[in-house]
Amino acid sequence: MKMAASASDYRDLARRRLPRFLFEYVDGGSYDEVTMHRNRADLQRVALRQRVLRDVSDVDLGVEIFGRRQAMPVALGPIGLAGLLARRGERQAVAVAEDVGIPFCLSTVSACSLGEVAEAARAPFWFQLYMMRDRGFVQALLAEARDRGCSALVFTVDMPLPGSRYRDYRSGLAGVPGLRGAARRFGQALLRPDWAVDVGLMGRPHSLGNVAPLLDRKSGLDDFMGWMRSNFDPGITWRDLDHIRSVWSGPLVIKGILDVEDARAAAALGADGIVVSNHGGRQLDGVPSAAEALPAIAEAVGGKLRIFADGGVRSGLDVARMLCLGADCVLLGRAWAYALGAGGGPAVRHMLSLFEAELRVALSLTGVTRVIELDRGALAA
């Protein structure tokens, strides 16, 4: 496997290895992808304050999140269908995250089930939950996550309906159900023989492991977006989150917060954390970037709960920028998905080593020796 110098390099390698429908699913955003590109552009415009002669011979990247020490302030965020990017991809990713010393969060719509990932894990991992119409099934998922030892619940609230992702329709992942859609994706897979053997043949079953009980012959991968529209619950309210808080005793993180008032509501609910996120630009196009929304939210609720952020992060330098804007920890999304698609677990491990080195440089050149001390004081005026 060819190693990369950056997460952007892994994007190019993933594009060459993955069938088109999978690459476009990972790479694309909603509508005209304005917000998706804004995530990157706004973060890149954040200027750090370079300091010199500060004795940075001993730099500490460690943080403590929910009572657990982790090697650096990042986590592998939830990625739907990640298990199709490499053979049983979520199993590979959780093992890498454990070895590196950071959290891994399993998506509701993963290919590998909670049980399968738990078998591959040696330590507790996080679970991400969507609210579905079948509340009894949601309760069962929560119970399984608890029984499997998941240490935190990440509850995604910005997806009552999936955004209009044009690339998924153009690639054949969505909107082309039945044999015609399957044949289209099969043809794309044949053009990627490495993936076809590693995942297509050796990585079965190809299903949504956690929600298999809800699937029937007309749903699932045959029309992924259509299935989500049919099963996700647009009637979700803050009352539902209050109920989740009452039945989930572990740390609860609310993902998909962009508005200060929503952040305050999450804090009032008793959430242990929030993720400042626009779903990677995959939901409502035209909303603020995570980097734009983060400072005001951090000012409003900082210290009341843990603040996570995602959106546009492609390097350890970007992690430093998010921390300066007010995040306590950063969820990686596309960065680790690109690496997984390019070369499986070894590539994810290498990508994380790049992030670690880049973050260490960012701290050293801003004159900060402990990552928990990064704040707005490290930003250029």
Mean confidence (pLDDT) of the chain:
94
Total domain count, the chain = 1
Residue 314 lies in a domain: yes
Residue 2 lies in a domain: no
pLDDT of 353: 98
Which residues, listed in sequence order, are joined to residue 129 by a DSSP beta bridge? 155
How confident is the model over 241-285, as pLDDT tens digits?
888 988 899 999 999 999 999 999 999 999 999 999 999 999 999
User: pLDDT band for position 108 (50/70/90)?
Assistant: very high
Q: Is pLDDT of 214 > 80? A: no
DSSP H helices, 77-217, are 89-100, 114-120, 135-147, 166-171, 178-190, 193-195
Residue 23 contacts residue 15 (beta carbons within 8 Å): yes
SS3 130: coil
Q: Is pLDDT of 309 > 70? A: yes
Contacts of 69 (CB under 8 A, 6+ apart): 62, 63, 101
Nearest Cα to Cα of residue 275 among 156, 98, 119, 366:
156
Q: Is pLDDT of 225 > 80? A: no
Chain-centroid distance of CA 218 in Å reads 28
Residue 264 zone, left/alpha/beta (φ > 0; ψ -120 to 50; rest): alpha
Cβ neighbours around 212 below 10 Å, total: 11
The predicted model scores a pTM of 0.95
Cβ neighbours around 245 below 10 Å, total: 17
b/e per residue, 103-139, with b = 16+ CB within 10 A?
bbbbbbbbbbbbebbbebbeebbbbbbbbbeeeeebe
Residue 123 lies in a domain: yes
Average pLDDT score over residue span 226-251:
86
Residue 296 lies in a domain: yes
Residue 98 contacts residue 128 (beta carbons within 8 Å): no
Average pLDDT score over residue span 222-234:
76
- CA 312/CA 56 separation, integer angstroms: 28
Tokens of 110: 């993963």
* Catalytic one of 37, 206, 243, 279: 279
Q: For residue 250, what is the domain's CATH number? A: 3.20.20.70
How confident is the model over 316-370, as pLDDT tens digits?
999 999 999 999 999 999 999 999 999 999 999 999 999 999 999 999 999 999 9
DSSP conformation class of 318: H
- CA 269/CA 261 separation, integer angstroms: 12
Residue 1 lies in a domain: no
Residue 78 contacts residue 107 (beta carbons within 8 Å): yes
**In the block, which residue shows the tokens 């009637």?**
235
**279 catalytic, yes or no?**
yes
Tokens of 245: 């808080």
Q: How far is CA 296 from CA 118, 307, 381, in A?
A: 37, 12, 17
- 3 CB burial (10 A radius; 0-12, 13-18, 19+): middle
pLDDT above 90 as % of the chain: 81
pLDDT of 243: 84
- 255 CB burial (10 A radius; 0-12, 13-18, 19+): buried
pLDDT of 221: 64
Contacts of 356 (CB under 8 A, 6+ apart): 61, 71, 72, 316
Nearest Cα to Cα of residue 127 among 157, 147, 104:
104
- Domain containing 194 equals 7-378
Q: Is pLDDT of 218 > 70? A: no
- 303 CB burial (10 A radius; 0-12, 13-18, 19+): exposed
Residue 255 lies in a domain: yes
